[in-house]
Chains A and B, each alone.
Chain A
Amino acid sequence: MDIPLFPPKDHHHSFFPPTQPLDTSTTTDPTAVAAPNGGSTDKWAAPLLRECARAIADKDTARIHHLLWMLNELSSPYGDSDQKLAAYFLQALFCRATRSGPRCHRTLSSVADRSHSFDSARKHVLKFQEVSPWTTFGHVAANGAILEALDGEPRIHIIDLGSTLCTQWPTLLESLATRHDDTPHLTLTVVVPAAAAAVMKEIGQRMEKFARLMGVPFEFRAVAGRLADLTGDQLALAVNHNATHDSKLAGAAVAVNCVGAMRKLPRGSDRAAAIEKFRSLSPRVVTVVEEEADFAAGEGNFVGCFEECLRYYTVYFDMLEESFAATSNERLMLERESGRNMVRVLACDDDDEDGNNDAVSEWERRERGRQWAGRMKEGGFAPVGFSDDVIDDVKALLKRYRTGWELVNNNNNNNGKQDQGPGLAGGQQQGGGGGDSNLFLNHGFDHNEGNNDHGNGGGDDQTPGLFLTWKDEPVVWASAWKP
């Protein structure tokens, strides 16, 4: 309760709709959210949302009503980023307050699923990749790690648990095609939720065509199901079925690709179990890419989880605003998706999850790289450093997008404090990467203060892997592991 309360009336007036989105993007700074009545461009959404979250935690019904009403007046999913943030968080808070989260989420999801087609998916996903490295960063890093881990193998089997709709693979296919030795045979097994099966079928056809075009011997297989539901045996079976008949699979070097997959698992034991499943596949490498946020605090610490959620989506919306044109349809889709996830994270309890496996299609409990790294290590995996080549690729990728993106390499410098290791990777880090790394980690964890800590606190500066930062805020973490 240390945040000052705004008298509602003043509030209403002084925060009268924040005018036109006067390209506020250039000065958007998540840390400025608390600045009080400075001018029309002040960030008004965050304080108001915080108030509301707090009131909900306190079960202060009158206040909740009041704040929700105000937010409803001020927000708009079509306004500037503040208005958008307010609109989507309002939705989540409202659901929370009225305990209608699961229902709301179900409705939103089914609508989204219904409109989910190959075309729309392609459009949004590819457009997003074009304007922002948010996803491509992980693709390049993961592909690099996979290619290196499987270098020289005549038969490769990639088990894709990721949610990238295979947009990650064309560049990998191209790399395979240009590999200096003979092009290996690639089997790509994609594990997809049943809802996406139809889309995946079409995607599979495209992949096959593209592979043919590239001259890569290729087999595409889709396994319907969710990682969470498949037991280790089932997964192995699904993945290896026909293995005896298909010589291509027998003896193929396996890579498990987990881009954005882990967060969709229910918490805790499921994640450990999933990691155990990975082991059972005997992969050469497991790539894990996750968005850098900690939504696992959910139950028991609503305000803390809300704060983290607000932090994360503030950065995300800011990024979207600067990356897309104001009226971009793709952007709207991404924002709506975020809105669904907010409802999922803030207004659906884990109980709901258990009760409604089918209804609530996906979990969105993000964890930070540090936490994932802890899980992977517990599961018996050891981090694989990214080679200089891969790091160069990632840097080259980032150069092609607008400014604001940086790579922070935790590979071989310990929080940037001292030795740059072999001097190759660290030495070239743009803007003195070592310092950045240190800075960002502290910065990052500040937000997490007072939040939960999952017992991995000791390993902050040891998180392996690469971080993508947007305006110095770590947003995506990429890592590679071997058993």
Chain B
Amino acid sequence: MPVDLDNSSTASGEVSGSSSGGNNPSQQQQSTAATPKKKRNLPGMPDPDAEVIALSPKTLMATNRFVCEICNKGFQRDQNLQLHRRGHNLPWKLRQRSGNEVKKRVYVCPEASCVHHDPSRALGDLTGIKKHFCRKHGEKKWKCDKCSKKYAVQSDWKAHSKICGTREYKCDCGTLFSRRDSFITHRAFCDALAEESARAHPHNPTPPPPSNRSPGADPHVDSAPATAPPSAPSSSVSPVHSPELPKTQDPSPAPIMEQPVARAATVNASCSSSSSTSSSSNGSTTSTVFASLFASSTTASETLHPPPPQQETHSFSDLIRAMASHPDHSHTTVELAPPPIEPISLCLSTSNGSSIFGQERRHYAPPPPPPPPPQPPSMSATALLQKAAQMGSSATNASLLRGLGIVSSSSLSSSSSAQLDGWAQRHMEAENSSVIHHHHHHHPGLGLGLLPCDGGSGLKELMMGSTSSSVFGPKHATLDFLGLGMAAVGAGPSSGGLSALITSIGGGLDVAASFGAGEFGGKDIGSSS
């Protein structure tokens, strides 16, 4: 599991690394924190005290060696077989965990040339090393019927099969592609890429802020932007935001997929805790970043559907609880983020997203103070992959996806959020006062909705892109880089960039059929007769 997590996180680190980015100084900071090339090799940094286990290739490849004598079903672990036997009403026995005294084990890859052969790069769990070995050094015997892509791990293949052919690729120039290869080639030659790259600082590996595009994209923003020019606030926001985001994202997209709620909670946690503990504007700014991001995401999808009141208040109260720890000094801090904004926008986000986050939220609402990433859940990478696939295929689950995308995308530029902040601030200043209580009157869904529609088109797509990069892409450890690549394309090059590369737009457009007609018609046919 850690393998995959690490893989994906480093891979997404790679995204930001490889894409040419904006020249935002703060972004550079961020990028130094995540040096792309080095990150690539990071997976597997075990506890030095752990016991290093070297399994033979045969053992690693062995599958289902524990077979039920009743139904012949095979299991990889005896424990699982025992549980299964229970279903047959057979005697079963589970080993007792003997608690802490079990020494932590890490596993090395038997392949001598592999980076994980080195004990210092051993992987943290058995499933992880098995999958790693199978994927990287095993035969790829699972082949997709549709695209002939091959997988060594059946579950990878299954996950891929579900989404194969369902995606469409959209270039910034507006051209849609159903075929990946066409898209890639087009991408390399398209002016959109050239322009973006030209605009971006060539050697700054960090994706530029998405906001460049938003202003133009939406009249609402246009009307409000003066207070928050994209670049100015971003510099003040990002120093905070940069250390913060990578951290949250780093551990992996996997936990995100697994427990969005937990993630959301963590965000809150980090917001509140940072604002309470940290000195200055940092905390509040950060939280606002998240807040507005959330707001934008949810409202983008649900502008027209203001959440049901009860839920609202529900999660709202939770939220307030979560925010309760906010010390007053956050009020004194400043410019970008007057305190009221945070709860509000967070509120909106949670309420709007209540269908997903709402009920469970309270479990997490009293958040663990330290911001660090949630413990990786005990879900297998495969399961995550499948989940990802399902999510990918059901476009309807948009808000969740977006929410995730937001959180996970470290590349989310600060400036956009700053802009959102700016907007929010303005908005709040205008309507000021007890927004919380007048929540309904304000019709927040609508109010904020304006904003996100805009950010919407930019942001949403960015998120989609980044979601797929962190989730779909690297997960297919072997090949599906494009998700990543596309995300990089989308998130990276500043300008037009954000527009969705990956967005799956319903209703396929047959590119082949849609090209321009020449002018020369049939006149010469006529003349020849």
Nearest-Cβ distance from residue A17 to partner chain B, whole angstroms? 4
- How far is A439 from B429 in the complex, measured between Cα atoms in Å? 80
A78 B148 Cβ-Cβ under 8 A: no
Nearest-Cβ distance from residue B508 to partner chain A, whole angstroms? 13
Nearest-Cβ distance from residue A477 to partner chain B, whole angstroms? 21
Task: Offer 8 A-B interface pairs, CB within 8 angstroms, sorted by A.
Answer: A78-B523, A129-B182, A169-B188, A209-B194, A212-B18, A212-B197, A213-B489, A400-B179
A180 at the interface (CB under 8 A from B): yes
B522 at the interface (CB under 8 A from A): yes
Q: Please, what's the 1-or-0 string for B507-525, where 1 marks a CB less than 8 Å from any CB in chain A?
A: 0000111011111111111
Q: Please, what's the 1-or-0 string for B145-166, where 1 marks a CB less than 8 Å from any CB in chain A?
A: 0111110000000000000000
On chain B, the residues within 8 Å of A207 by CB distance are 188
B521 A76 Cβ-Cβ under 8 A: no
- How far is A133 from B527 in the complex, measured between Cα atoms in Å? 34
Q: Which of A29-37, A303-311, A390-398 contacts B (4 or more CB under 8 A)?
A: A390-398
The answer to whether residues A392 and B150 also contact, given A174-B485, A209-B194 and a CB cut-off of 8 A, is: yes
B517 A327 Cβ-Cβ under 8 A: yes
The answer to whether residues A209 and B193 also contact, given A78-B524, A79-B524, A393-B148 and a CB cut-off of 8 A, is: yes
**Size of the chain A interface, CB-CB below 8 angstroms:** 58
- How far is A123 from B194 in the complex, measured between Cα atoms in Å? 15
- How far is A232 from B520 in the complex, measured between Cα atoms in Å? 46
A389 B185 Cβ-Cβ under 8 A: no
A210 at the interface (CB under 8 A from B): yes
A83 B525 Cβ-Cβ under 8 A: yes
On chain A, the residues within 8 Å of B396 by CB distance are none
B364 at the interface (CB under 8 A from A): no
- How far is A167 from B40 in the complex, measured between Cα atoms in Å? 28
Nearest-Cβ distance from residue A186 to partner chain B, whole angstroms? 14
A27 at the interface (CB under 8 A from B): no
Q: Which of B27-35, B47-55, B473-481 contacts A (4 or more CB under 8 A)?
A: B473-481
Contact residue range for chain B? Answer: 35 or more
B481 A213 Cβ-Cβ under 8 A: no
A16 at the interface (CB under 8 A from B): yes
Interface centre among B17, B149, B150, B529 (most CB of A within 10 A): B529
- How far is A73 from B186 in the complex, measured between Cα atoms in Å? 41
- How far is A330 from B194 in the complex, measured between Cα atoms in Å? 23
Sample of 13 more A-B contacts, CB < 8 Å, known A213-B193, A328-B518, A396-B148: A78-B525, A79-B528, A83-B528, A126-B189, A130-B182, A169-B188, A174-B184, A178-B479, A181-B136, A210-B188, A214-B481, A327-B521, A329-B516
- How far is A177 from B143 in the complex, measured between Cα atoms in Å? 21
Q: Which of B150, B480, B520 contacts A178 (CB under 8 A)?
A: B480
Q: Which of A16, A78, A131, A182 contacts B529 (CB under 8 A)?
A: A16
What is the chain B residue whose CB lies nearest that of A396?
B148
- How far is A330 from B515 in the complex, measured between Cα atoms in Å? 10
A205 at the interface (CB under 8 A from B): yes
What is the chain A residue whose CB lies nearest that of B143?
A392
Interface of chain A residues 166 through 218 with chain B (CB within 8 A): 167, 169-171, 173-174, 177-178, 180-183, 203, 205-207, 209-210, 212-215
B197 A209 Cβ-Cβ under 8 A: yes
Task: Classify the secondary structure of A's interface with B.
Answer: helix
On chain A, the residues within 8 Å of B517 by CB distance are 325, 327-328
On chain B, the residues within 8 Å of A288 by CB distance are none
- How far is A162 from B148 in the complex, measured between Cα atoms in Å? 27
B524 A396 Cβ-Cβ under 8 A: no
On chain B, the residues within 8 Å of A73 by CB distance are 528
A74 at the interface (CB under 8 A from B): yes
- How far is A74 from B113 in the complex, measured between Cα atoms in Å? 68
A273 at the interface (CB under 8 A from B): no
Nearest-Cβ distance from residue B493 to partner chain A, whole angstroms? 8
B478 A180 Cβ-Cβ under 8 A: yes
Q: Which of A75, A395, A397 contacts B181 (CB under 8 A)?
A: A397
On chain A, the residues within 8 Å of B519 by CB distance are 327
- How far is A9 from B36 in the complex, measured between Cα atoms in Å? 76
On chain A, the residues within 8 Å of B477 by CB distance are 180
- How far is A117 from B326 in the complex, measured between Cα atoms in Å? 62
B481 A20 Cβ-Cβ under 8 A: no
A248 at the interface (CB under 8 A from B): no
A332 at the interface (CB under 8 A from B): yes
Top 4 A-B residue pairs of the complex, sorted by shortest distance between their CB atoms: A215-B18, A396-B148, A178-B481, A170-B188
Nearest-Cβ distance from residue B155 to partner chain A, whole angstroms? 17
What is the chain B residue whose CB lies nearest that of A215?
B18
Q: Please, what's the 1-or-0 string for B448-486, where 1 marks a CB less than 8 Å from any CB in chain A?
A: 000000000000000000000000000001111110010
B41 at the interface (CB under 8 A from A): yes
A77 at the interface (CB under 8 A from B): yes
Q: Please, what's the 1-or-0 string for A54-97, where 1 marks a CB less than 8 Å from any CB in chain B?
A: 00000000000000000001111111100100000000000000
Q: Which of A167, A213, A389 contacts B485 (CB under 8 A)?
A: A213
On chain A, the residues within 8 Å of B140 by CB distance are 389
- How far is A215 from B20 in the complex, measured between Cα atoms in Å? 10
B405 at the interface (CB under 8 A from A): no
On chain B, the residues within 8 Å of A129 by CB distance are 182, 185
B19 at the interface (CB under 8 A from A): yes
Nearest-Cβ distance from residue B238 to partner chain A, whole angstroms? 23
- How far is A330 from B518 in the complex, measured between Cα atoms in Å? 9
A471 at the interface (CB under 8 A from B): no
On chain A, the residues within 8 Å of B521 by CB distance are 78, 327
B492 at the interface (CB under 8 A from A): yes
What is the chain A residue whose CB lies nearest that of B41?
A182
A267 at the interface (CB under 8 A from B): no
- How far is A83 from B522 in the complex, measured between Cα atoms in Å? 12
- How far is A205 from B195 in the complex, measured between Cα atoms in Å? 12
On chain A, the residues within 8 Å of B513 by CB distance are 325
The answer to whether residues A170 and B20 also contact, given A17-B525, A180-B478, A396-B148 and a CB cut-off of 8 A, is: no
Interface centre among B136, B480, B522 (most CB of A within 10 A): B522
On chain B, the residues within 8 Å of A341 by CB distance are none
- How far is A74 from B187 in the complex, measured between Cα atoms in Å? 42
- How far is A214 from B15 in the complex, measured between Cα atoms in Å? 8
Q: Please, what's the 1-or-0 string for B410-447, where 1 marks a CB less than 8 Å from any CB in chain A?
A: 00000000000000000000000000000000000000
What is the chain B residue whose CB lies nearest that of A389?
B150
A122 at the interface (CB under 8 A from B): yes
A127 at the interface (CB under 8 A from B): yes
B319 at the interface (CB under 8 A from A): no
B41 A170 Cβ-Cβ under 8 A: no
B488 at the interface (CB under 8 A from A): yes
